[in-house]
Chains A and B, each alone.
Chain A
Amino acid sequence: QVQLQESGPGLVKPSETLSLTCAVSGYSISSGYYWGWIRQPPGKGLEWIGSIYHSGSTYYNPSLKSRVTISVDTSKNQFSLKLSSVTAADTAVYYCARSSAGQLFSYWGQGTLVTVSS
């Protein structure tokens, strides 16, 4: 059974960099699929942040692209998100998920709340 688990600081100061990691179990990232990050501000809808293929190819939401880096570490079977220059508008529950070539997200982590505040 594929499982994903997000981890990282729950509180980030404005202007700093948000860093999250998604640990994958039950499947080897190097075997394939896309791995993505999606966020959801409190009380609002889903927003795709970006996705990375197991080989390292990336797709980013153009509205966040200048601030986002997604990377994969196959040796640790995990992938990561870095979002720079955060503001209060980046406060959200951040989900990691696995998707197919058609970018349907079939496996999701439980989500982690990141609050941007001084």
Chain B
Amino acid sequence: SYVLTQPPSVSVAPGKTARITCGGNNIGSKSVHWYQQKPGQAPVLVIYYDSDRPSGIPERFSGSNSGNTATLTISRVEAGDEADYYCQVWDSSSDHPLVFGGGTKLTVL
């Protein structure tokens, strides 16, 4: 089955840029979605189809996807961005069509 690899943790100072990666074999050929999950809450979609932002998500959140790595970038990081972030792909032709990455804990220093 398809495996998505995320770093367990990323730390960043307030006001700086955080980059969270999601690795997968030829992931650039797939559509990647990203979710933010704060403690005790349901996940929230923050980026879909690699780089689109749902309404209500700040422009500070952006995404890219190429080759074997997709990246979620959070600019001008705020304390409220501290959360777990998950990438997700869908491949209807796969025997395991929907996969989540293991998640990355973003810590704002």
Measuring CB to CB, which residues of chain A are less than 8 angstroms from any residue of chain B?
Answer: 38, 45-48, 51, 59, 61-63, 95, 102-106, 108-111
Q: Is the CB of A61 within 8 A of B98?
A: yes
Would you give the 0/1 interface string for B66-98, flagging 1 where the beta carbon is closer than 8 Å to chain A? 000000000000000000101010101001111
What total of A-B pairs shows CB separation below 8 Å? 60
Q: Is the CB of B100 within 8 A of A48?
A: yes
List the 7 closest pairs (A to B, CB-CB), nearest first: A103-B90, A108-B42, A45-B103, A104-B33, A46-B100, A104-B48, A48-B98
Q: How far is the CA of A47 from the CA of B4 in the complex (A)?
A: 12
Q: Is the CB of B96 within 8 A of A45?
A: no
Q: Is the CB of B43 within 8 A of A108?
A: yes
CB-CB under 8 A for A59 and B98, given A105-B43, A109-B42: yes
Measuring CB to CB, which residues of chain B are less than 8 angstroms from any residue of chain A?
Answer: 1, 31, 33, 35, 37, 42-45, 48-49, 54, 84, 86, 88, 90, 92, 95-103
Q: How far is the CA of A47 from the CA of B86 in the complex (A)?
A: 11
Measured between C-beta atoms, what is the minimum distance from B103 to chain A in Å? 4
Residue of A nearest to B48 (CB): A104
CB-CB under 8 A for A105 and B54, given A45-B102, A59-B98: no
Instruction: Pick from A63, A104, A110: contact of B49, CB below 8 A.
Output: A104
Measured between C-beta atoms, what is the minimum distance from B81 to chain A in Å? 19
Residue of A nearest to B49 (CB): A102
